[in-house]
């Protein structure tokens, strides 16, 4: 079993370019099947979730190749409409193929994605929205079957904001007859990125990034070469790492303004942060002042995907903090691992109370989800002594090479294959 070994106590310094965005590329890969042609994606991250999505695309007839520049998808012959159960259960974001296959072939058979460590992850909003496009949805305990003869634009009002459900309805509506209006749409940058990609393919989408999105159905799409945006959560993760360890680092990527809420928190903790068009510079003395309360919210609020990482940093800040997790119902699982390292954290429902301690101490801990694992790596960087983080298959779902990235910034960290 492999693990990450990190020797704590080092300040971070230097410069790093951030990888392409996981949460932007997954819906874009699904979107590529809307066009019977070629899609090229530059800056595509080499991460487990992308490899999973590639297998899914190949299982329905796509030809996918890695080239020097990035990933090429030939979706000329998408001749299957059922999405293999083993992939859907192992990567819940494969549910994004629901909208894409309805958009391509007007039918899809897919299994339930199921929950994960951070929550039950239902898809009720996805299915309710799809029905508004004249699609029949039939379900049994294992499978969901969606089909229509005429895909017709409709009006969707989401009861709550959902990134995946917004992406799914956009993908289904791009080639529907007529206009689709989505109200209470998610506003995350990944929605904006997906719509930018689709408009380059020839779609006609306006309002992306706002709560009201309009999709005018088109008949044809075209080949596209697309350069993917940098990963805002990976950038936020490394900003948090510098905040906690101390040091001075420049991170390069075109997702700086999308990190505004994270930067605001880091400045309140006592970090100096400079922001350019395509870089963020952060300086920290590692002696942080606790932040009173941090609540996770939909964009542009503080992202739930940064909650575990900031929790690690707050665990050694001077004073007490509260973290409120408003998006997922069980995203505090990593707290028990941080407590093994000497953190003083109490969880009550969706509120975690953190009392900063002088130092964490290195020990063996286990990643239980993607961002929790990243939080444990940050804790290991800050701790006295050596930590070993197992469960790194979670971390490698979203981080191309977290050890190489952090070693580039001076960390004493490596992946060990046992």
Nearer to ligand EPZ among residue 102 and residue 316 (C-beta): 102
Taking CB under 6 A as the criterion, the residue among 12, 16, 327, 354 binding ligand EPZ is 327
From 116, 146, 195, 403, the catalytic residue: 116
Taking CB under 6 A as the criterion, the residue among 119, 178, 209, 385 binding ligand EPZ is 119
CA distance 354 to 335: 10
- Window of 64-72, 183-191, 214-222, 261-269 that interacts with ligand EPZ by CB under 6 A: 183-191
- Interface of this chain with ligand EPZ, residues 84 to 103, rule: CB under 6 A: 93
- Please give the radius of gyration of the chain, using alpha carbons only, rounded to the nearest integer: 21
Asked whether 409 and 16 are in contact (CB, 8 A), the reply is yes
Taking CB under 6 A as the criterion, the residue among 88, 125, 146, 221 binding ligand EPZ is 125
Taking CB under 6 A as the criterion, the residue among 16, 18, 26, 228 binding ligand EPZ is 26
Q: Report the half-sphere exposure of 300 (CA within 13 A, side-chain side).
A: 12
Asked whether 219 and 285 are in contact (CB, 8 A), the reply is no
Helix H segments across 123-280?
124-131, 163-173, 189-201, 232-245, 260-268
Asked whether 105 and 128 are in contact (CB, 8 A), the reply is no
Q: Is 229 in the site for ligand EPZ (CB under 6 A)?
A: no
Instruction: Pull the structure tokens for residue 268.
Output: 């309140």
Nearer to ligand EPZ among residue 3 and residue 302 (C-beta): 302
Nearer to ligand EPZ among residue 17 and residue 326 (C-beta): 326
x-marked contacts with ligand EPZ along 275-294 as a string, rule CB under 6 A: --------------------
Q: Is 44 a catalytic residue?
A: no
CA distance 164 to 162: 6
Q: Is 108 in the site for ligand EPZ (CB under 6 A)?
A: no
- Window of 50-58, 117-125, 316-324, 388-396 that interacts with ligand EPZ by CB under 6 A: 117-125
The strand pairing partners of 226, in sequence order, are: 41
Q: Is 121 in the site for ligand EPZ (CB under 6 A)?
A: yes
Q: Is 259 in the site for ligand EPZ (CB under 6 A)?
A: no
- Category of 81 on φ-ψ map: left (φ > 0), alpha (ψ -120 to 50) or beta: alpha
- Category of 39 on φ-ψ map: left (φ > 0), alpha (ψ -120 to 50) or beta: beta
x-marked contacts with ligand EPZ along 153-182 as a string, rule CB under 6 A: -------x-xxxx-----------------
Nearer to ligand EPZ among residue 161 and residue 291 (C-beta): 161
Residue 98 phi, psi (nearest 5): -60, -55
In angstroms, what is the minimal distance from the CB of 120 to ligand EPZ?
6
Nearer to ligand EPZ among residue 7 and residue 137 (C-beta): 137
Q: Within 10 Å of residue 80's Cβ, how many Cβ atoms?
A: 15
Q: How far is CA 144 from CA 31, 54, 113, 170, 382, in A?
A: 20, 22, 11, 19, 46
Taking CB under 6 A as the criterion, the residue among 370, 376, 392, 403 binding ligand EPZ is 370
Residue bearing tokens 């909208």: 99
> What residues are labeled active site?
116
Interface residues with ligand EPZ (CB under 6 A) are 22-23, 26, 93, 119, 121-126, 160, 162-165, 186, 188, 190, 304-305, 327-328, 370-371, 398
């Amino acid at each position: 079993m492999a693990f990450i070994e990190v020797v704590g106590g080092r300040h971070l310094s230097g410069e790093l370019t951030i990888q392409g965005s996981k949460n932007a590329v997954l819906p874009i890969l699904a979107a590529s099947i809307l066009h019977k042609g070629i899609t090229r994606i530059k800056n595509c991250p080499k991460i487990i979730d992308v490899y999973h999505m590639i297998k899914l695309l190949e299982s329905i007839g796509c030809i996918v190749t890695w080239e020097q520049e990035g990933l090429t998808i030939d979706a000329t012959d998408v001749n299957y409409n059922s999405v293999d159960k083993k992939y859907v259960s192992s990567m819940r974001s494969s549910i994004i193929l629901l909208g894409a296959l309805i958009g391509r072939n007007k039918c899809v058979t897919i299994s339930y994605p199921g929950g994960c460590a951070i929550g039950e992850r239902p898809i009720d909003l996805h299915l309710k929205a799809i029905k508004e496009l004249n699609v029949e949805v039939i379900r049994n305990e294992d499978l969901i079957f969606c089909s229509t003869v005429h895909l017709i634009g409709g009006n969707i009002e989401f009861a709550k904001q959902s990134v995946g459900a917004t992406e799914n309805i956009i993908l289904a509506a791009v080639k529907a007859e007529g206009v689709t209006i989505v109200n209470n749409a998610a506003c995350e940058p990944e929605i904006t990125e997906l719509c930018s990609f689709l408009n380059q393919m020839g779609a006609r989408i306006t309002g992306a990034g706002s709560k009201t999105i309009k999709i005018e159905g088109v008949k044809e799409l075209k080949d596209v070469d697309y350069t993917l945006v940098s990963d805002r959560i990976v950038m936020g993760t490394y900003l948090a790492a510098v905040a906690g360890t101390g040091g001075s680092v420049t991170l390069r990527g075109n997702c700086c303004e999308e990190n505004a809420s994270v930067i605001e928190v880091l400045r309140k903790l006592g970090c100096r942060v400079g922001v350019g068009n395509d870089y963020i510079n952060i300086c920290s003395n590692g002696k942080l002042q606790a932040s009173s309360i941090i609540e996770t919210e939909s964009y542009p609020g503080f992202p739930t995907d940064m909650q575990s990482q900031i929790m690690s940093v707050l665990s050694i800040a001077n004073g007490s903090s509260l973290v409120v997790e408003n998006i997922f119902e069980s995203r505090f699982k990593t707290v028990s691992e941080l407590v093994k390292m000497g953190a003083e954290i109490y969880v009550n429902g969706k509120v975690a109370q953190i009392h900063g301690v002088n130092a964490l101490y290195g020990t063996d801990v286990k990643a239980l989800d993607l961002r929790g694992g990243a939080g444990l790596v940050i804790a290991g960087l800050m701790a006295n002594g050596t930590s070993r983080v197992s469960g790194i298959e979670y971390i490698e779902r979203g981080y191309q090479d977290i050890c190489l990235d952090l070693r580039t910034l001076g960390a004493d960290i490596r992946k060990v294959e046992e």
